[in-house]
Every structure is written in structure tokens, then in C-alpha cells.
Chain A
């Protein structure tokens, strides 16, 4: 079975440019999560969706970040404009219905460097 698929795996971009990260969750999973990992802040939940609807976006750092889930098989995380402090690994994860008690599975991450 295919796992969570993220693209791009690595991206280097210049400050001020728009960055779009993509995620395809595991088929049948109702929950989709976006996490960011940095050395300083560890793993932070940015936003999560249930049945394509954003449930909690309190972790989104600022208005430069936006996330969408137009259908059950695709989500994007967009940063516009990007800044060097956005450099991090961005993970997408998905899980079946009811988060408490069900495992979520991670993609391999998108390694973003903003110079």
C-alpha cells in the first residue's frame, strides 16, 4: 500500500518567493495533518483537516502560511512570501477516523531551505 506522499522532497528557494508543498494522504484516511520540524521548536502541528475541512489552524505561524485540502486525496501548504526562518522540514501525515486511538502515518517530509 502506498504511504503518505509528499512533494517536493527538497526545495531551496530565495527569500520572498512562494513555496507550495504538496501531500497525498493514504487512501481512506479522514484526517490530514501538517507538521513543521526545526531544531529549535521540535515538531509543531500547523493545521489539521477532517474530511477535507480545516479543524484547527492555531499552529499556523502567520498569514504568510495557508493550507488547503480541495479533495480527499490532495492537500497543499503554501508559504508566501517565504522567509529564511521558514527553513524546516515539513511533514504531512494522515490517519483514519477518530484521532485519539488511531495511528497517524507520516510522509517522508519536505526539506525546505529559504536563502
Chain B
């Protein structure tokens, strides 16, 4: 069965510091996609970054990078130079062969000055 695990219910980081949000997954499908979404307090789900299972390089999007370790089945999100506006819930998700997106339970990130 496919599963996404986010073990950090909450994280704190000081402004301008980097932070890593953990995500592990489990699937037997050889082809899958890994995603991170941000949900601010306003409630919308914002796509941040995507990594394909066959991609050789780690994905990057501005201050976001995905640390993909396929053998360990981990897809951690790294946010560099944190900003106050980064305070939000962050969800890791996986799309296996069946195409549906499965979400983890989320990590609440608080950025303080």
C-alpha cells in the first residue's frame, strides 16, 4: 500500500535560517511523483515543488529544494533563507502509478523573527 509519513507535527525556525521538513514514503510502483504543497492560514493549497522518481537531480524552485533519496524513500523539503511568510502547513504528497495524489499529515512551520 502507498503511504506518506511526515513525522514532524511542528517545526520552528528563525528568519533567514534554513529548515528541513521530513517526508518518507512507501510504494511498490517503479514510477511515481513526489510533491510538496504549502497551506497558509487562509486555507488554499499552493504547489511548491515536484520530483519524479526517475529524475537524477534534486528538484529546486527558488528557495525550495527537494532532497530526494530514492533508496531511503525520503523526499525532504529544504527551505533556505526562511521568511515570516513561510509560516504555514506543509504537506508532502505522492502520486503513484494509479495517478491519485496521497498526502501526508503535514508539518506546521513557524518562522520567528
**Cross-chain contact of A42 among B33, B35, B103 (Cβ < 8 A):** B103
Contact with B along A71-100 (1 / 0, CB 8 A): 000000000000000000101010000111
Let me know if B43 and A99 touch, CB within 8 A.
no
B83 interfacial by beta-carbon distance below 8 Å = no
Number of interface residues of B (CB under 8 A): 26
Tell me whether chain A's interface is mostly helix, strand or loop, or mixed.
strand
- Give 29 pairs: A residue, B residue, CB < 8 Å, sorted on A: A31-B99, A33-B100, A33-B101, A42-B103, A42-B104, A42-B105, A43-B91, A45-B100, A45-B102, A48-B99, A48-B100, A56-B98, A89-B43, A93-B45, A93-B101, A99-B100, A100-B31, A100-B33, A100-B96, A100-B98, A100-B99, A101-B33, A101-B95, A103-B47, A103-B50, A104-B95, A105-B47, A106-B37, A106-B47
